Chains A and B, each alone.
Chain A
Amino acid sequence: MTTEALTRPVGLAATFGHLREGTALPVTVVLLVTIVAWYLGAIWLNSGLVEQKFEQTDKSATTAEFIDMAWSLDRPVLPAPHQVAIEFYDSVFTRDVTSPRSLVYHAYVTGSAAVVGFIFGTLLGIVLAVGIVSWRTLDRSLLPWIIASQTVPILAIAPMIIVVLGNVGLTGLMPKAVISMYLCFFPITIGMVKGLRSPDPLQLDLMRTYSANRNQVFWKLRWPASVAFLFTSLKVAIAISLVGAIVGELPTGAQAGLGARLLSGSYYGQTVQIWSALFMAALLGMALVAVVELAERLTLRRMGARP
């Protein structure tokens, strides 16, 4: 047992090992198929615009010219992958990070709101879960409201939150963080209620034989038992927290942030800009989830999880 444990790679090394061994080929294939389909889709969806262009100049086009045009329009219906890649590269690497033309700047604006909202949401979610698990009345009275809160579309609530908070002098990051919090406390509460209730009767009986009080049962049993559940919820929460922050930027015509970037892109038909902002949002989301996953791995390893 011990030698096996010693020779087995742990943590990050193991993750990359898996990539090398099993999943690299399928991932590459899927990526290639997606790119090819995207290029073909760009020709198909942009054909109308390309035809107009050629009609305006009264020239007939060869197939090669037609395709070339479809893949290099200024404001295409669907930009080709390389157009998005170039725009992404330019707006990430060639601009001053503090300039509003830099995607890094916009990602920072949105990301910081998402992270603040995530922290608030996590705290709120945990507090609600502890209340629900500890007091029967809260279990009955609170849970229906919590579920109802999530059935209302966030797009409908977001403008009201922004207006209300704007009236009390909160603008900029805070309203967006509040919207993020509104979305992400929910999976935390649900996950933590389940986690705090996860100890089996035997583990609880053991505490009873020690005459442990409620606090001790909570801190020495319920809380540690719920940590794995918490991290699962945190991964969901951080992702939707980002969605919340982006949605929070849409209704106000915010000047900065990925949402603002998406909005201005759609005002001016800058589809390339929209797509590169979308990619930035996806990358940001992946990075945030990766950070939570890393924290999860470190924490659970300390708590004796099997590698």
Chain B
Amino acid sequence: MQTLRTAMPMNVESPQTASQIGNRPVAIDMRDLSLTFETADAPVVALSKVNLQVKAGEFVSLIGPSGCGKTTLMRVMADLERPTGGKITVNGLSPEQARLARAYGYVFQAPALYPWRSVRRNLMLPLEIMGVPREERETRAAQYLDMVGLKDFANKFPWQLSGGMQQRVSIARALSFEPKLLLMDEPFGALDEITRDHLNEQLLRLWEHTQKTVIFVTHSIPEAVFLSSRIVVMSPRPGRILEVIDCDLPAKRTLDVRETPQFLDIAHRVRLALRAGHSYDN
């Protein structure tokens, strides 16, 4: 497995701490956000009175069982769904304005690569759409393919890559136009645990070095605890936020951190919160 190497020098950023993040501007601000889907039989309340503020440079995980609205919440941030109540701003703009300003990169559950484009041309797709000149497109594609350790696969087609490689391409594609905000919807959900561990570690390095704001949907507790600076625990019917847990593990953590008491303690708190909100009775 090759690494998600950072193309930047190693000393650009100092490790982030909770206090540093505290002074930063708010990237995403949600107040009493609600979304109800009108269906044929009964309206489904996907989100109910969600309040959440995400500061620039934070890594926030949304965790919860299936149907708790975590993907919907992220789709609202991306202007892929319209809320039916409440307010939301992304970088001070409405989600639609933010989308039109190409403020975020979205990584879907599936790689969503276009099968008729080579890896390199898949990476260049957003750049073509955004009107980046040709040479610049080529440079950026090469740079970000190198970052995810796939520069030898530039001219392969998606089907020639493993699932993990495809997802790395899709991450590189989301980074290629250098958005400040990265929205990731269970990007590693379909991968085996070993690949997932590797990509988790690489994503963490990437975040440390690029200072992007990351919203990350998952239903894996260890993944959430390992990656996040904050964990948002959600619950279904109606989709709502149960608890927000600060996750102040040391910066520059490696996978070994998962054996420490501090890690296990946070994981335990997340598990308790999930249990409190989730009953199988109804």
Binding site for B on A (CB under 8 A): 1, 5, 202-203, 205-212, 216, 220-221, 224-225, 227, 303-304, 306
Shortest B234–chain A CB gap in Å is 21
Q: Which residues of B contact A210 (CB under 8 A)?
A: 102, 125-126, 129-130
Q: A202-B110, A216-B129 are in contact. Are A209 and B104 (CB under 8 A)?
A: yes
Whether the Cβ atoms of A304 and B158 lie closer than 8 Å is yes
Q: Is B116 an interface residue (CB 8 A)?
A: yes
Cβ of A304 to closest chain B Cβ, rounded Å: 3
Query: How near does chain B come to A49, taking the closest CB pair, in angstroms?
Result: 60
The smallest C-beta distance from A249 to any residue of chain B, in angstroms, reads 40
Is A205 a contact of B108 with CB atoms below 8 Å?
yes
B116 x A206 contact (CB < 8 A) = no
Contact A203 B114 (CB under 8 A): yes
Interface of A: prevailing SS: helix
User: Measured between alpha carbons, how far is A303 from B112 in the docked complex, in Å?
Assistant: 16
Residues on A with C-beta less than 8 A from B108 are: 202, 205-206
Number of interface residues of B (CB under 8 A): 26
B77-114: CB near A (< 8 Å → 1, else 0) gives 01110000000000000000001101011101010101
Contact in complex: A220, B116 (CB < 8 Å):
no
> Does A224 contact B116, Cβ atoms closer than 8 Å?
yes
A209 touches B80 (CB 8 A): yes
Distance (Å) between the CB of B75 and the closest chain A CB? 8
A-B contact pairs, 10 of them (CB 8 A): A202-B110, A203-B112, A203-B114, A205-B80, A208-B79, A209-B99, A220-B129, A224-B114, A224-B117, A304-B117
B273 → A minimal CB distance (Å): 30
Does B263 count as interface, using CB distance less than 8 angstroms? no
Q: Is B43 an interface residue (CB 8 A)?
A: no
Nearest opposing residue in chain A for B109, CB measure = A202
Determine whether B128 belongs to the interface, using a CB cutoff of 8 Å to chain A: yes
B51 interface residue, CB < 8 Å from A? no
Residues on B with beta carbons closer than 8 Å to the beta carbon of A202 = 108, 110, 112
Count contacts between A and B, CB distance < 8 Å. Answer: 56
Say yes or no: is B37 at the interface (Cβ < 8 Å to chain A): no
Q: For A304, what are the chain B residues with a Cβ–Cβ distance below 8 Å?
A: 115-118, 157-159
Please give, as numbers and ranges, the residues of chain B lying within 8 Å of A306 by CB-CB distance: 159
Asked if B160 lies at the interface with its beta carbon under 8 angstroms from chain A, I say yes
Expressed in whole angstroms, the Cα–Cα distance for A151 and B108 within the complex equals 45
Q: Let me know if A303 and B130 touch, CB within 8 A.
A: no
6 tightest Cβ-Cβ pairs between the two chains A and B: A304-B157, A303-B116, A209-B106, A202-B112, A210-B129, A224-B116
Q: Nearest A residue to B78 by beta-carbon distance?
A: A209
> B38 to chain A: closest CB distance in Å?
18
Query: Is B114 touching A208 in the complex (CB atoms < 8 A)?
Result: no
Best-surrounded residue of A206, A212, A216, A306 (most CB of chain B within 10 A)? A206
> How far is A303 from B117 in the complex, measured between Cα atoms in Å?
7
In B132-163, the 8 Å CB interface with A consists of 157-160
A216 — which chain B residues lie within 8 A by C-beta? 129
> Which residues on A sit within 8 Å (CB–CB) of B157?
304
Q: How far is the CB of A55 from chain B (nearest CB, A)?
A: 70
Smallest CB separation, A103 vs chain B (Å)? 41
The docked-state distance in angstroms from the alpha carbon of A216 to that of B129 is 7
Residues in A with CB closer than 8 Å to B110 are 202
A209 to B116 Cα, complex, angstroms: 20
Complex interface: chain A residues within 8 A of B117 (CB): 224, 304
Tell me the nearest residue of chain A to B160, going by C-beta: A1
Q: What residue in chain B is nearest A209 (Cβ atoms)?
A: B106
Q: Once the chains are docked, how many angstroms separate the CA of A110 from the CA of B5?
A: 63
Q: Which residue of A lies closest to B110 (CB)?
A: A202
State in angstroms the CA–CA spacing of A199 and B198 once bound together. Answer: 31
Which chain A residue lies CB-closest to B96? A211
Chain B 32-54 residues near chain A, CB threshold 8 A:
none
CA distance A221 to B157 in the complex (A): 16
Q: Can you name 8 extra interface pairs (CB under 8 A) apart from A224-B114, A225-B114?
A: A202-B108, A205-B80, A210-B102, A210-B125, A210-B129, A210-B130, A212-B129, A220-B125
Q: Closest approach, in angstroms, between the C-beta of B113 and any C-beta of chain A?
A: 9
User: How many angstroms from the CA of A220 to the CA of B125 in the assembled complex?
Assistant: 8
Closest residue of B by beta carbon distance from A306: B159
* A207: chain B residues within 8 A (beta carbon): 129
By beta carbon, the residue of chain A nearest B116 is A303
Residues of B within 8 A of A227 (CB): 116
| Closest chain B residue to A228, Cβ basis | B116
CB distance from B79 to the nearest CB of A (A): 8
